Amino acid sequence: MNAAHPSRRIYVAEVVTRDGFQSEPQFIPTTDKIALIDRMSEAGYAAIEVSSFTSPKAIPMLADADAVFAGITRNPAVEYLALVPNVRGAERALAARADAFNLVMSVSEAHNQANLRMSREQSFAQLQDVIRLARDHDTPVNVSLSTSFGCSLAGPVAPDDVMHWARRFADLGVRGISLCDTTGMADPAAVGALCERAVAAFPQLQITLHFHNTRGMGLANVVTALQAGIRHFDASLGGLGGCPYAPGATGNICTEELVHMLERMGYDTGMDLQLLLACAAQLERLVGRTVPSQLLRAGPVPTVALS
Ligand code: COA
Ligand code: ZN
């Protein structure tokens, strides 16, 4: 992609069954997770992050990742991703036939310790082994850099630190990097500046932006990322989501709101908004409460004259 003349095609990755369900107070039954993924698989997503192969003690709500992967009906047009924190997780993800790995570590040392119980250097060493294993199995690797825009444990995160870790992973030949605003601290100016740096420094990488709407800046951040040439975004159906190990973390940007906004702006998401809204309504019944999505309440902006 040429950053000066980027295309209007946007690639959306759904994270509700991973980022969303990991922080739900109640365990969502495996069969319900599978049914939701199967329905979402027809909505036009580029990717669905199905679950995470983490320690069931760390993330009990996703302890059924193996069964969820085994139960879903795969649409060949969709990439089914697994979040992987270590070699053990990678082995499980390979056995589950995940299409690609989403590795995770934090730019903030404090959050890496809280979330993964190891230093960033320890994470990097383990993830190097994971990347080797993935290469042996022709499995593409994306690395999610958590707390790229700030940390609720340590405060500000320097863009130079984000670039440093992105560079180290780029040098290992990964396919992509996600810049993750785990804590909803990114603002549109900071996003534009970091995205421009990342796009210029890593033209070979697929760069994804992962926003949480904790402070109401989520979709504004998408707009400045678009202006910087970013075309891959994570989002969560209904706006669920949040890291259990980042104090105060709340939901991701909402998929149906992202798609609705992008389509109105003339971008092509390839997604079926009506089906997304139906999935979001199903999700609301699953979690048994109102989800953050404002679009689910208001409905899309009318495109024909109302009589
Ligand atoms: N899958 C399943 N079990 C795993 C595992 C994996 N990927 N990695 C470790 N375990 C198990 C170990 O076997 C061990 O089990 P035991 O107590 O029955 O012997 C236990 O988990 C602890 O293992 P250890 O290697 O000491 O890990 P830890 O307690 O230091 O935790 C992580 C490290 C990375 C496994 C854990 O912190 C984790 O899974 N974090 C994920 C956090 C996350 O997903 N956050 C949200 C997304 S950003
Ligand atoms: Zn997240």
SS3 track for 38-104: HHHCCCCCCEEEEEECCCCCCCHHHCCHHHHHHHCCCCCCCEEEEEECCHHHHHHHHHCCCCEEEEE
In a domain, 306, yes or no: no
DSSP-derived 3-state class of residue 290: coil
Q: Whole domain around residue 213: which residue ranges?
A: 6-298
Ligand 1 pocket, residue 239 CB under 6 Å: no
In a domain, 305, yes or no: no
In a domain, 307, yes or no: no
In a domain, 211, yes or no: yes
User: Torsion-angle region of residue 117: left (phi > 0), alpha (psi -120 to 50) or beta?
Assistant: left
The pocket of ion ligand 2, defined by CB under 5 A, consists of 19
In a domain, 303, yes or no: no
What pLDDT, on a 0 to 100 scale, did the predictor assign at position 307?
A: 83
Tell me the C-alpha distance between 243 and 100, whole Å. 21
Of 15, 53, 54, which is best to mutate to test ligand 1, by the most ligand atoms within 8 angstroms of its C-beta?
A: 54
What residue has token string 């495996």? 30
What pLDDT, on a 0 to 100 scale, did the predictor assign at position 5?
A: 60
Distance from the CA of 194 to the center of ligand 2, in angstroms? Answer: 18
Ligand 1 pocket, residue 39 CB under 6 Å: no
35: tokens are 């049914």
| pLDDT in 10s for each residue of the chain, 307 residues | 445 467 999 999 999 999 999 999 999 999 999 999 999 999 999 999 999 999 999 999 999 999 999 999 999 999 999 999 999 999 999 999 999 999 999 999 999 999 999 999 999 999 999 999 999 999 999 999 999 999 999 999 999 999 999 999 999 999 999 999 999 999 999 999 999 999 999 999 999 999 999 999 999 999 999 999 999 999 999 999 999 999 999 999 999 999 999 999 999 999 999 999 999 999 999 999 999 999 999 999 999 999 8
243 is catalytic: yes
In a domain, 1, yes or no: no
In a domain, 304, yes or no: no
- The atom number, within ligand 1, closest to the CA of 245 reads 45
In a domain, 281, yes or no: yes
8 A C-beta contact, residue 164 and residue 122:
no
8 A C-beta contact, residue 120 and residue 109:
yes
What pLDDT, on a 0 to 100 scale, did the predictor assign at position 2?
A: 46
The CATH number given to whatever domain includes residue 259 is 3.20.20.70
Q: How many domains does the chain have?
A: 1
